[in-house]
Amino acid sequence: MDERTDAKDTARTEGFSDGVFSIAITLLILDLTVPRIHGATPGELAVALRSEVYPLAVLALSFGTIFIMWVNHHRLFTRLHHVDARIMASNGFLLLLVTVCPFPTALAAEYLGQPAGNLAAGVYAAYFVVVNVAFNLLIESAARSRHGSRHGLDEVVIRRLRARLRFGFVAYVLAAIAAIWSAWVSIGICAGLWVFWAVDIFGAGPARPSTA
């Protein structure tokens, strides 16, 4: 393949991925419902709105995490010179998990604060463990591509990405384990990781990708 074909294939893969990320983020909002209470008093509406606090909080967490994943994905693909079968397969696996995100989000939103909340939080954290593994597969596929990179996906960058992935993996595993005892601790760890990724990625500058 010539350079123009390589660039076109990379752009098409990234464009398709962008569409999947957009749809997944849009689907998150569908689980929010407007309280419908005929003749509701302000107090009754306030009570109904309080029932949406958990869904809103978990939605915001999932939205932020998917957004950071998308930024990381974009920064990675700006460095890729070519997408081979291995990269496309690992990217497809990651996108599959992105489309699944509304399910663990809705599960956690529905059951937090209830007896089954610990299990729901554990499933939510475990989902991000698998996402972390998928992102790691994509990074490793890009690192091993014989076509190299466009702007310097070199060993220094790869080592930094691997270190962040290991940190995220351990933290998400701890969040999943913590859910056995406390749903709030589990969700808190996930939220803390979101803050870590956000600070890391937006402090990285355009030349240094972070990792979700």
Question: pLDDT tens track of the chain, all 212 residues?
Answer: 455 545 566 777 777 888 888 888 888 776 666 666 666 676 666 766 676 677 788 888 888 888 888 888 887 777 777 777 888 888 899 999 999 988 999 888 888 888 898 999 999 999 999 999 998 888 888 777 655 555 556 666 677 777 787 888 899 999 999 999 999 999 999 998 888 877 776 665 444 444 45
Nearest to 105 by CA among 34, 57, 50: 57
Query: pTM for this structure?
Result: 0.80
141: Cα separation from own chain's centroid: 19
Q: In Å, what is the CA distance from 136 to each residue of 20, 66, 78, 124, 183?
A: 19, 16, 17, 19, 26
The predicted pLDDT at position 178 comes to 95
- What is d(CA 205, CA 203) in angstroms, rounded to the nearest whole number? 6
d(CA 58, CA 10): 33
Contacts 24+ apart (CB under 8 A), 100-108: 100/127, 101/24, 101/28, 101/62, 101/66, 101/127, 102/24, 102/27, 102/28, 102/30, 102/31, 102/62, 104/62, 105/28, 105/31, 105/58, 105/59, 105/62, 106/31, 106/55, 108/54, 108/58, 108/187
Question: Per the structure block, which two tokens stand in for 37?
Answer: 């209470």
Packing angle of the helix pair 53-79, 102-111 (nearest 10 deg): 160
pLDDT of residue 152: 54
- What pLDDT sits at residue 44? 64
Please tell me the predicted confidence (pLDDT) of residue 93.
93
Residue 207 pLDDT = 44
Tokens of 8: 């076109």
Q: Are 87 and 141 in contact (CB under 8 A)?
A: yes
Can you read off the two tokens belonging to residue 208?
A: 């240094």
